[in-house]
Structure 1
Amino acid sequence: MTEMNMLPPGLLVSAPSSGTGKTTVMLGLLRALRDDGLTVQPFKSGPDYIDPAFHHAASGRASFNIDTWAMDGGLLNAIAAQAAGADICVSEGSMGLYDGVATRGQSGFGSSAETAQRMGWPVVLVIDAGGQAQSAAATALGFQAYNPDLPIAGVILNRVASPRHERLIRRGMDHAGLTVLGVLPRRGDLALPERHLGLIQAVEHPDLEAAIIGYAAFLRDNVDLAAIRAAAVSGPALPGGALPKPPAQRIALARDAAFSFTYPHLLKGWREAGAEITPFSPLADEVPCPEADLVWLPGGYPELHAGALAAASTFRAALRQHAETKPVHGECGGYMALGAGLIDKDGTRHEMAGLLGLETSYEKRKFNLGYRRAVLTESMPGFAVGAALRGHEFHYSSILQQPDRPLAEVFDADGNPGAQTGSVRGNVTGTFFHMIAEDVA
């Protein structure tokens, strides 16, 4: 008999578009509920590798991505099961509520609405009320009518300019029959710092704890927390599933401000399967564990630390020594660091590890964003030739040269082939996409 997992009550915080303030609302809500004595399980809808670290800081529990394009039903169920022991689940959407891709993936098109429906969660819609009044209700009503099967628990009005502004908006919401769960006055100091990939990393925030405390106080003063708790719904019982298996038994994982983009469900799966994960810092010129079977360099911001990486001679020498007999793999920023050289935004070339012939440039910026499906033409750690992987790409770097054998045939979400195929040379492999899951279809 298949074991069934009953989820705690939950809801999803979303918005009509990016830039509405839903992340600050999410962080304030997580901390406020935690301060009320609840055990809160955070989730992130979609392939975001920055927000989960902020969620963890606010809630005290690891946050996991739920991705209906890249993940099959078994993996989605296994990730949902991470909520065991929690009192409430709160998930943050990505982009706009209904934004996804054109072609169905493992179980859907990747929208936050799909996440909410699959998990049985109603939606709290964060509306940026700046520049409108009663028209904000028409926006919210349109989102409710777009999919009548997806319940909208209510709205949180953000960036409200004055009591008069609030009265006008509330009049529109009353007319539309929509519940107002909170009204947030306009404040310029609530924005999280950003850079070219979106938010800065949680570890880089100058005083993240103070910021989260401030968000929680702001939410408590302006949002009906009791009504939000009451709006959370327990979804259907889900059958069990399995998290991803580790690519090696002993994994040396680069972990610092230059290399931090790892999906929590991967690390959780690797550890639960018995893998030993040993972090080390290339920026601190640390060496990977000599006993490691695999060195894994995740994505991050090597372009911001290229000088320090070029000067990390002890790290690079140890990496080269490891690669003589054992595998090394890099994703996105890690892939760039394994190459021959990296040109920063000022046009300065920095020598990288030289384990691949890849030359990349951040001076010649090219926006690369979207889901990826890769079919391996060469083996890589944990996967044989012919394996299909699903992942996501998000960077601004251009490839100047890529002389090594391609690692895979890579396609976008609609099946169109891409030029960024990854590389392989000896025991070293790398890709520009971040792996989310194996495609078992």
Structure 2
Amino acid sequence: MAAALVISAPASGVGKTTLTLALARAWRNRGLNVQCFKSGPDYIDPAFHAAATGRASVNVDSWAMDRGAIAHLVSRGADADVVLAEGSMGLFDGVAARGVSGTGATADIAEMLGWPVVLVIDPSGQAQTAAAIAAGLRDYRAGVRLAGVVLNRVASPRHEDLVRRALVDAGIAVFGALPRHAEISLPKRHLGLVQAEERAEIGQLIDETARFVAEHVDLDAVLRSAARWLPQPAANGLNVAPPGQRIALARDAAFSFVYPHMLEAWRAAGAEISTFSPLADETPDASADVCWLPGGYPELHAGKLAANARFRSGLRAFAETRPVHGECGGYMVLGTSLTDADGLRHEMTGLLGLETSFAKRRMHLGYRLAELAAPMPGHQPGARLRGHEFHYSTIVAQPDAPLAVVHDATGAAMAETGSRRGHATGTFFHLIAEDR
């Protein structure tokens, strides 16, 4: 049986990722096998989890996935000693309308799996009120059990004492307190998946974080508070069809994001995946029957992509006879042009008429439910696809036929419908699952 916990907080930016990575690495350094998960659609944190544990981490999402899919994904922790699910946003934060099995809130996963929650509390600018917040979170939903709290950014020993006393009086365990002056954080930069050349740097940072947290947090007490969990057999797995039998997947610093569970589902269905690097001016494998360009950061490499004539001509030649699909950044590269943050226009592959710009940044963020108006690799017209969109680009032109009717989680229609032309298709959302 594994010891299972959820790491959450009252809000974003409190230190969930820092604590998750520190606990995972500290326990791994003790010789324990640690498996991490990420609640919600965030695609950066699972890469950090993998760096901390040496095991692939996947997303579990109550808005996009049913209980069977979630049970199937978490069963990968069956051979672990410790299982940690890192939450997103605040513990109960999700969308207004319920999805497949919940609203996307971390609390959905905690209740569904029966895993107690360790809260990261930042008491900056308050003292006893921090206990009131923790008690409110503990009592808000009957099916969610609070294990205890870790305080982050504590101002002084006196400050810590005030907060600790209030929490203990409220019947809430305090596992430790991290001082503000020694705050630790991960670098705020474009990472996507952790690139190979960054692994040494990230590994050193995680080691330092683990040592710091181990000095201030009672790791044994945290472990004792965990649920003893043994995964139950899942009635069904992921409802994700591979886009083809042999998939040419763009994979480098410009195309760094695809959900790990998607690749695993494709391979489990018998598909073969070969990777190529557009940044290295490579072309898709000639033996592939479909090409997939995932999201990433093409805006950071737009000049190089525009200059890589071999990649661009090779992709166009591939698309003459076989499907090519792009998600978000990959969709932009399939378009006619991409204007970077400095206002420079770069020619892209031209397989679609899409023109995008980062000159005026505007955030597009949220769940998406798309009903396909035409086929895309792996999915037929009428299929209902659930995904997530997160980018800062604006559409200058989107002249091709729409690929889908797309709505957000509230049911509002979205302008980002995706496009189709010939064998090329693209979407701004990253696919998570298809409705059964």
TM-score (ref. length: structure 2): 0.96
2:316 counterpart (317, 320, 335): 320
**2:115 maps to what in 1?**
121
Query: What is the distance in 1 between the residues matched to 2:39 and 2:105?
Result: 8
**Secondary structure of residue in 2 paired with 1:31:** helix
Residue type of the partner of 1:242? G
Query: What is the distance in 2 between the residues matched to 1:8 and 1:213?
Result: 23
1:177 counterpart (168, 171, 174): 171
Residue type of the partner of 2:137? F
Q: Does 1:346 align with 2:342?
A: yes
Query: What is the distance in 1 between the residues matched to 2:40 and 2:229?
Result: 19
**Secondary structure of residue in 2 paired with 1:350:** strand
Q: Judge which range, 233-242 or 307-316, deviates more.
A: 233-242
Query: What is the distance in 1 between the residues matched to 2:192 and 2:313?
Result: 30
Query: What is the distance in 2 between the residues matched to 1:15 and 1:305?
Result: 35
Residue type of the partner of 2:194? A
Query: What is the distance in 2 between the residues matched to 1:48 and 1:31?
Result: 20
Q: Does 1:252 align with 2:276?
A: no
**1:4 maps to what in 2?**
none
Residue type of the partner of 2:256? S
Query: What is the distance in 1 between the residues matched to 2:368 and 2:94?
Result: 14
Residue type of the partner of 1:308? K
**Secondary structure of residue in 2 paired with 1:239:** coil
**Secondary structure of residue in 2 paired with 1:409:** strand
Shift of 1:181: 0.8
2:80 counterpart (62, 77, 86): 86
**Secondary structure of residue in 2 paired with 1:155:** strand
**Secondary structure of residue in 2 paired with 1:417:** coil
**1:193 maps to what in 2?**
187
Q: Is the 8 A contact 1:248 1:293 kept in 2?
A: yes
Q: Which runs of 4+ in 1 moved over 2 A?
A: 199-206, 234-239
**Secondary structure of residue in 1 paired with 2:417:** coil
**Secondary structure of residue in 2 paired with 1:207:** helix
**Secondary structure of residue in 1 paired with 2:401:** coil
Query: What is the distance in 1 between the residues matched to 2:379 and 2:109?
Result: 28
Structure 1: gaps (5+ residues):
1-6
**1:302 maps to what in 2?**
298
**Secondary structure of residue in 2 paired with 1:251:** strand
Query: What is the distance in 1 between the residues matched to 2:57 and 2:359?
Result: 34
**Secondary structure of residue in 2 paired with 1:32:** helix
- 1:43-95: CA deviations, max 9, x gaps? 00000111100000001100010100001122112112121211121010000
**Secondary structure of residue in 2 paired with 1:381:** coil
**2:207 maps to what in 1?**
213
Query: What is the distance in 1 between the residues matched to 2:297 and 2:348?
Result: 14
Structure 2: gaps (5+ residues):
none
Q: Does 1:425 align with 2:429?
A: no
Shift of 1:373: 0.3
Query: What is the distance in 1 between the residues matched to 2:147 and 2:130?
Result: 16
Residue type of the partner of 1:283? L
Instruction: Give the RMSD, CA atoms, in angstroms.
Output: 1.5
Shift of 1:29: 0.8
Give the 5 Å matches for 1:338-417.
Answer: 338-417=334-413
- 1:260-294: CA deviations, max 9, x gaps? 11111111111122211111111111111111111
Identity score, percent: 59
Residue type of the partner of 1:59? T
Q: Is the 8 A contact 2:78 2:231 kept in 1?
A: no
Q: Is the 8 A contact 1:193 1:200 kept in 2?
A: no
**1:331 maps to what in 2?**
327
**1:66 maps to what in 2?**
60
* TM-aligned CA distance change 1:77 to 1:200, over 3 Å: closer
Residue type of the partner of 2:170? A
Query: How many residues are paired up?
Result: 432
Q: Is the 8 A contact 1:356 1:424 kept in 2?
A: yes
**Secondary structure of residue in 2 paired with 1:295:** strand
Residue type of the partner of 1:211? L
Q: Is the 8 A contact 1:120 1:234 kept in 2?
A: no
